[in-house]
Structure 1
Amino acid sequence: MAQPYVPPPPVGPRARMTLLRLSDPLRWLALGAKDLQAHPGIALFYGVCFWCMAQVLSLVFQHKPEYTLSMVSGCLLVGPFLAMGLYEGSRRREAGLVPDMGSSFTCWDGHLKSMAMLVLVLMVLELLWGRASLVVFAVFFNTGMPSTTGVVQAIFNPENLDFVAVYLFVGGLFATLVYAMSVVSIPMILDRDTDAITAAITSFRVVIGEPAVMVLWGFLLSALVILALWPWALGIIVVGPWLGHASWHAYRGTVQWEESPEEPVTLGATN
């Protein structure tokens, strides 16, 4: 009689979710601000990159408003990967090393396989998000895509509350999926070189395990980015790198690593 399959014990360090407090997101922001102040040159480079992304988003809204939600999803996709250089700066500073621009550019080298898989999954979500956005516009504006002025009027027109509700629901659904999948997965890959599936599952575990704290963290990220867009998105030059550094500390504050009996691992310093 065939014996039932028993999976082998896990090898290597295992991720353990940390119990969080509602004040932790503020602590992550404070730690991110310290990293920003310690190495402003690196932050300035990435801040300018984020500002360029904001300008592209603004142009799309002015000329092709129906693609705005798709572009927002693209920014949510590109932003965390662009911030990987900032994660590396925070990682090196936590380890007692000196961050530099070169290491922030080359931190991808040892993680290309895992990052490529995660990019593929998030890109599929981004394409579905963009298609869903166009479908919502097509359903509610069957006489043609509205201009930028038309979109603004539609949002503030009480007769179009159904359009606004559906548009926000669709956008919120995909934004939640992208957020839950990437909130700690990218810094986790950088830190431990885990595979993309493990990193994404761990990220979902964090969000599901601490929903109140992670909703607050997502709200703070969104609110600070929105506030940084006025005037002329200049605030994003500072806020973007700040949130990048803070996101590293969010990962370090939510995921700890346990040694396994088979393969002891020296843990780094905790925040």
Structure 2
Amino acid sequence: MSIHNLPANKVSLDDEIIIRHVDANIILDWLHAGVTDIHLGGKASLFYGIIFAATGVIIHAVFAENYWLLAGLSTGFFLLGPFLAMGLYDLSRRMESGEPPSLRPTLIAWLPNLVNIMLFTVLLIFVFLAWAGLSMSIFAHFFHGAEPTFIDVVISVFTFKQPTFLLIYFSAGAVFAAFIFSISVIAMPLMLDRNTSAWTAAITSLRTCARNPITMTLWAGCIVVLVGFGLATNFLGLILTMPVVGHASWHVYRQLIVIKE
């Protein structure tokens, strides 16, 4: 069936949305599906990976001298990942329906549900800015208003010179990341696929995480590892790891959510 002929009726909380319970070993299937979609998507998939990597390089180049700001922007940038991966979700959706992989239609995949996707994206941006501001405040507090160098931060991390700084910084980051993950892991694919409202999508995502707490926590951990690898390779690894995450996230949605017509 062509993707253009798929039902686009609006889904609300009044419709029956069934959330499946799955075992944690399904994560391997999600990762395998993500890798398979990269292979099938070819240049279209790698295009999005290059965008992620290039954005990371630009952020690093512009703010390299202000690591206290760079840390918040680099990690916070990936809070916007659910929106930036929209094209990857659409590419997986189209390939699943039997269409050949093509980059052009994925670039405007968000247009049919523009208002709700933009509302959700504004929320992501707000959280991104809040985290960037908090990150700078934490650095300023523990480094006494100075602008620490990269070496200063590395020494603090590996020598536990400032254990309170590490505890507060990473705990705060984890709270922001957990919030974004919980409301968006299902939300963006659902809004793309079924034209749902931002509210319905966010609530469904939260319910999905509550229904599968262990599996979704482990899946979040996989995302952290894949993104962390990309960052550790001077962003080059993101060319592959971000498409894996994006494509796999589509299959997470497809295997966890059933909507009765």
Decide: shared fold, TM above 0.5: yes
Instruction: Tell me which residue corresponds to 2:132.
Output: 130
1:73, 1:126 within 8 Å by CA — same for their partners in 2? no
Take 2:75 and 2:127, find their aligned partners in 1: how far apart are those partners?
9
1:44 Cα deviation after fit: 1.7
Asked if structure 2 preserves the Cα contact closer than 8 Å seen for 1:60 and 1:67, the reply is: no
Specify the code of the residue in structure 1 equivalent to 2:104. Answer: G
How far off its partner does 1:60 sit?
5.7
Native 8 Å contact 1:70 1:127 kept in 2: no
Task: Report the counterpart of residue 68 of structure 2 in structure 1.
Answer: 66
Distance 1:200 1:60, change over 3 A: farther
Do residues 110 (structure 1) and 109 (structure 2) align? Answer: no
CA gap of 1:39–1:177, structure 2 versus 1, over 3 A, is same
With over 3 angstroms needed to count, the CA separation of the structure-2 counterparts of 1:215 and 1:60, relative to structure 1, is: farther
CA contact (8 A) 1:21 1:213 kept: yes
Q: Distance in 1 between matches of 2:69 and 2:16?
A: 41
User: How much does 1:67 deviate?
Assistant: 1.6
Matched length: 250
**Distance in 2 separating the partners of 1:143 and 1:78:** 28
What are the Cα deviations for residues 142-197 of structure 1, in whole angstroms up to 9, with x where unaligned? 24121222111222233311111111111111111111111111011000110111
1:197-212 aligned within 5 A: 197-212=199-214
| Alignment-derived partner of residue 18 in structure 1 | 20
Is 1:36–2:38 an aligned residue pair? yes
Q: What CA distance in whole angstroms lies between the structure 1 residues aligned with 2:14 and 2:94? A: 22
Q: TM-score, normalised by structure 1?
A: 0.86
C-alpha contact 1:228 1:234 (8 A) present in aligned 2:
yes
Q: CA deviation at 1:22?
A: 0.7
- Stretches of structure 1 lacking an aligned partner (at least 5 in a row): 1-9, 259-264, 266-271
Q: Within 5 A, what are the aligned runs for 1:94-243?
A: 94-243=96-245
TM-score, length basis structure 2: 0.89
Give the direction of change, closer, same or farther, for the CA distance of 1:177–1:96 in structure 2 (3 Å limit): same
Q: Is the 8 Å Cα contact of residues 56 and 74 (structure 2) preserved in structure 1?
A: no
Measure the CA separation in 2 of the matches of 1:143 and 1:101.
Answer: 46
The structure with the larger Rg is 1
Question: Could you say if the C-alpha distance between residues 240 and 120 of structure 1 is closer, same or farther in structure 2, counting changes exceeding 3 Å?
Answer: same
Please tell me whether residue 254 in structure 1 is matched to residue 260 in structure 2: no
CA drift of 1:119 comes to: 1.1
Give, in whole Å, the separation in 2 of the partners of 1:39 and 1:48: 14
Query: Offset at 1:23?
Result: 0.9
The question of 1:49 aligning with 2:51 is answered yes
Who is 1:268 aligned against?
none
Identity of aligned residues (%): 33
Cα separation, 2, equivalents of 1:128 and 1:86: 26
Counterpart selection for 1:81 from 75, 80, 83: 83
Question: Which consecutive unaligned segments of at least 5 residues does structure 2 have?
Answer: 1-11
Q: 1:257 to 1:104 in 2, by over 3 A?
A: same
